[in-house]
A = this chain, B = another copy of it.
Amino acid sequence: MFYRSLLLPDLRESLESNDRASLHEFCEALHAAVLAEILDELTGEEIWQVLSATGPERQAEIFSFLDKARQVSLVPVVPHRDLSRLIEEMPADERVDFLEQLDDDEVERILPLIAQAERADIRKLLSYPEGSAGSIMTTEYAWLPENITVDEAFGRLHEQAPDSETIYYIYIVDDGRRLDGMVTLRQLIQSRRSAKLADVMRHDVISVRVDDDVEHVAAEVARYDFLAIPVVDNQNRLVGIVTHDDAIDIFRKEAEEDALMQAGVVPLEDDYLATPVAVLVRKRVVWLAFLMVAAFVTARILEGYQQVAGVLTWMGWFQPLVLASGGNAGSQSATLIIRELALNESRQAHRMMLFWREVRVAALQGLLMMIIAFAGSIMLVDLQSAVVVCITVFLVVLMGTSTGAALPMLFSKLGMDPALMSNPLIAALSDTLGVIIYFTVAITLIGVAVPAV
């Protein structure tokens, strides 16, 4: 945040005058993660103008920290030959994640330009099913045979270091590449230089299988406080490692998916802001529609009691339905907005954009729900009453969504934790406003004297 406002004006100046020397200096100056955040403010063409001022190795480092949507948007901008050099330099797991975002055609255009060895590795990693250890592991691990000395090990690690994701855990493999044990670099530092690895290594290595679920992999890394966990195939051959930073990413993604599922939203594949409004509606309206069907069951049961006890009019039958529609839409919206605010420090413009997206989602969802509500209620009541129910549903969904989006933003603006705006609280507020909407619509359309039964 701080760096961005400080460096962006200078960077724009260097871009305008196309000052290669100062662009090069910029690329070397800061941590790649910080540079990627600053670059995020630029157009694709500008990003490449900056990156092309440095070598492919540093390009790959910075590129790896850009978010996925941004990486993909650079593909048409970067010349194919430069792109393939950059991809060669990326960590094995990061580049596969990137290539998975592209169309198959595009991948086939880029792959032939990549060096043979790297290409085989990419094809292998691309072949593991999504959600498996294989799909997130890297093949760039440090390994040694057991029959060398600690001193020889240091020599070999010196060579392996540039191409390994980590050299702090070193895996000991036999001639058939089967995982036999491991040593940590710390153990090597603490050992006599003349000791054999066979005497220093530990044999009972905890590993995961290449087809294990990523969530299991992350849980194992966390359970043992590992820096990395080895991934083996069904013959115990070492095929890759998964590192601690991947485990953090898995936990964060899992928590986000759980939160969305709990609020009745089908988990999103992309960032909230990168997801088109139509997709957002699809991921949400499935649940809302399903829940409305359940609410019709409730309405039908209430109608049954009406005949027995004469205590409720048709407006009473549909009251749970209209209130639940508002509450459910509100919970979905609040959950999405709370997570979005947690991920991105909110600026005023950002908040306005979020709110505007939610209003559009609400309008679309409201229309769809209105159609379902009309179709359901016309089977239980007359046309006039069904019109009251479906117009109310539209307005209540609109109100629920806006409330669900606006209140966490208000909390965040007031410096409070937006997560305090819990789903039951949104539902309670939406109940109160919902009955007002319901009766206002009924009185407006049918008049004051609605017959009591």
Residues in chain A within 8 A of chain B (CB atoms): 29-31, 33, 154, 157-158, 161-162, 166-168, 185-186, 189-190, 204, 206, 221-225, 227, 244-245, 247-249, 251-252, 254-255, 257-259, 261-264, 287, 290-291, 294-295, 297-298, 301-302, 305, 308-313, 315-316, 319-320, 323-324, 327-328, 331, 335, 338, 342, 417, 419-420, 422-425, 427-429, 431-432, 435-436, 439, 442-443, 448-453
Contact = CB atoms under 8 A, between A and B. Distances in A.
Given A154-B189, A312-B315, A424-B328, A431 B295 contact: yes
Chain A contact residues: helix, strand, loop or mixed:
helix
14 contacts: A167-B186, A251-B251, A259-B259, A261-B419, A262-B262, A262-B419, A263-B423, A298-B432, A301-B435, A309-B439, A311-B316, A319-B319, A324-B424, A324-B428
Given A316-B312, A423-B423, A244 B262 contact: no
A158 B185 CA distance: 11
A451 B247 CA distance: 63
Contacts of A290: 425
Contacts of A443: 308-309
A266 to B, nearest CB: 10
Nearest to A244: B244
Contacts of A190: 158, 161-162
B189 A168 contact: no
B432 A309 contact: no
Contact of A258 (B206, B249, B259, B331): B259
The number of times this chain is found in the oligomer is 2
Contact of A435 (B225, B313, B315, B320): B320
A263 B263 CA distance: 9
A82 to B, nearest CB: 25
Contacts of A161: 186, 189-190
B263 A424 contact: yes
A407 to B, nearest CB: 13
Nearest to A160: B189
Contacts of A431: 294-295, 298, 320, 324
A213 to B, nearest CB: 11
Contacts of A342: 258
Contact of A305 (B422, B439, B452): B439
Given A248-B251, A255-B258, A311-B313, 11 more contacts: A168-B185, A259-B259, A262-B262, A263-B423, A287-B424, A294-B428, A305-B439, A309-B450, A310-B449, A312-B316, A320-B320
Most chain B beta carbons < 10 A, residue from A257, A301, A310, A435: A435
Task: List 5 A-B pairs, minimum CB-CB distance, nearest first.
Answer: A255-B255, A294-B428, A225-B245, A264-B424, A305-B439
